[in-house]
């Protein structure tokens, strides 16, 4: 996963319909795309509507796999509409690039936030996990498995609401054989969020893998490290297979509670035992404690204080 072109994008990108986008600074680079902030223009008039413009060079290597994956990502993403899923506006090709116009998430990802903050507060974790569960419930209801939920794919809009993005590995539940092929050809990146059944041949292609990932996300937001964290992939696999993870000792700086530990413990279990999104958010962790109605964007860098 490299070879993302780093050339500056054209200053103006024009859709076949005639709508123009004035491109701005880069927001980030992914496996095979680069994303820029852009403003939509009505003819030569700026509309003030800012978007994220994802650019994929059509002629780059490894073209075949990347293109196939990209097309399925677009097909899935273009059908979704949920307040906690990055909105998909349109996609078009022009010259050697394909452009995807997405809802702009100007506050970065939960991974960026965690890098700055190291650990989030319990009220933030409650709000974020509730929003993630809302998006996952919506996806699973439509038989879509995201398969790559992780802090780096959870973006933040201008009001610090979570938006699930990057549907590169998302799959509509198809036949087992198709899923097996897809899994073999697409597994890449960090295995920190991988459900253990994915390591077993012929398993791990249903919704349950997303529920496991929610457990990993909740732990990671509180502690700053994934529960099965290790320096090599092999070590992570070993830990995953054993199912053993531990919490750092409780101390003044350790951000955890018995209710959070119960929540994570309910998710990091064999697939058939994992609670569904509605059951997750009705656990004690969310019930008797403070859930903020909003999170200030200053929380990206500074620990907020809660009543
Ligand atoms: P890929 O599908 O190639 O992995 P991503 O979807 O991860 O590409 O996008 C690459 C980077 O662009 C992300 O890591 C993020 O920094 C940024 N990005 C992606 N989508 C958005 C968005 N909607 N709003 C803001 N930044 C985004």
Among 115, 165, 168, 189, the mutation site with the greatest number of ligand 1 atoms within 8 A of its Cβ is: 165
CA distance 42 to 102: 17
Please give the distance of CA 287 from its chain centroid, rounded to a whole number. Answer: 25
Q: Residues enclosing ligand 1, CB less than 6 A?
A: 27-33, 35, 52, 86, 102-105, 155, 165-166, 168
Query: Helices (DSSP H) in 39-167: which residue ranges?
Result: 63-77, 110-117, 122-141
Task: Say how far apart CA 134 and CA 43 lie, in whole Å.
Answer: 38
Q: Report the pLDDT averaged over residues 108-118.
A: 97
d(CA 256, CA 191): 24
Give pLDDT tens digits for 69-89: 667 778 888 889 999 999 999
At 133-184, the pLDDT tens digits run: 999 999 999 988 998 899 999 999 999 999 999 887 666 655 455 555 555 5
Q: Which of 2, 36, 53, 54 to mutate to test the pocket of ligand 1 (most atoms within 8 A of CB)?
A: 54
Two structure tokens written together for 155 = 């973006």
Token pair listed for 12: 């103006």
Residue-wise burial string across 265-300, b where 16 or more C-beta atoms lie within 10 A, e elsewhere: ebbbeebeebbebeebbebebbeeeebbeebeeebb
Q: What is the pLDDT of residue 171?
A: 67
Q: pTM, whole model, 2 decimals?
A: 0.89
Neighbour count for residue 7 (Cβ, 10 Å): 8
For the sheet with 34-42, list strands across it.
12-14, 20-29, 34-42, 45-57, 97-103, 88-94
Q: ipTM score here?
A: 0.95
Query: Other C-beta atoms within 10 Å of 252: how many?
Result: 5
Residue 300 has pLDDT above 50, yes or no: yes
Tell me whether strands 88-94 and 97-103 are parallel, antiparallel or unpaired.
antiparallel
Residue nearest to atom 15 of ligand 1 (CA): 28
Which pLDDT tens digit goes with each residue over 211-270? 999 999 999 999 999 999 998 888 999 999 898 999 988 765 567 789 999 999 999 999
26-54 confidence digits (pLDDT tens):
999 877 789 999 999 988 899 999 999 99
Tokens of residue 119, six digits? 């650990």
Give the mean pLDDT of 88-117. 92
Q: What is the pLDDT of residue 166?
A: 85
């Amino acid at each position: 996963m490299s070879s993302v072109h780093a050339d500056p994008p054209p200053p103006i990108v024009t859709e076949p319909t005639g709508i123009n986008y004035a491109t701005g600074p880069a927001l980030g680079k992914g496996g095979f795309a680069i994303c820029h902030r852009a403003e939509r223009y009505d003819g030569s008039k700026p509309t003030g509507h800012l978007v994220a413009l994802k650019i994929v060079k059509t002629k780059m290597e490894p073209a075949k796999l990347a293109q196939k994956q990209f097309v399925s990502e677009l097909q899935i993403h273009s059908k979704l509409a949920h307040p906690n899923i990055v909105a998909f506006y349109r996609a078009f090709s022009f010259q050697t690039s394909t452009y995807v116009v997405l809802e702009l998430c100007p506050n970065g990802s939960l991974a960026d936030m965690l890098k700055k903050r190291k650990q989030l507060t319990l009220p933030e974790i409650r709000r974020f996990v509730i929003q993630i569960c809302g998006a996952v419930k919506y996806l699973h209801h439509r038989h879509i498995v995201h398969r790559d939920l992780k802090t780096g794919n959870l973006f933040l809009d201008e009001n610090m609401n979570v938006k699930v993005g990057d549907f590169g590995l998302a799959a509509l539940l198809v036949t087992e054989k198709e899923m097996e092929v897809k899994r073999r050809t697409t597994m890449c990146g960090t295995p920190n969020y991988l459900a253990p059944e994915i390591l077993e041949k012929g398993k791990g292609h249903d919704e349950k893998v997303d529920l496991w990932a929610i457990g990993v996300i909740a732990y990671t937001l509180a502690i700053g490290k994934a529960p099965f964290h290790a320096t090599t992939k092999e070590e992570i696999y070993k830990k995953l297979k054993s199912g053993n993870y531990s919490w750092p000792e409780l101390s003044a700086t350790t951000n955890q509670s018995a209710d959070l530990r119960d929540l994570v413990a309910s998710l990091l279990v064999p697939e058939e035992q994992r609670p569904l999104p509605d059951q997750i958010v009705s656990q004690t962790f969310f019930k008797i404690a403070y859930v903020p109605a909003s999170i200030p964007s200053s929380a990206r860098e500074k620990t907020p204080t809660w009543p």
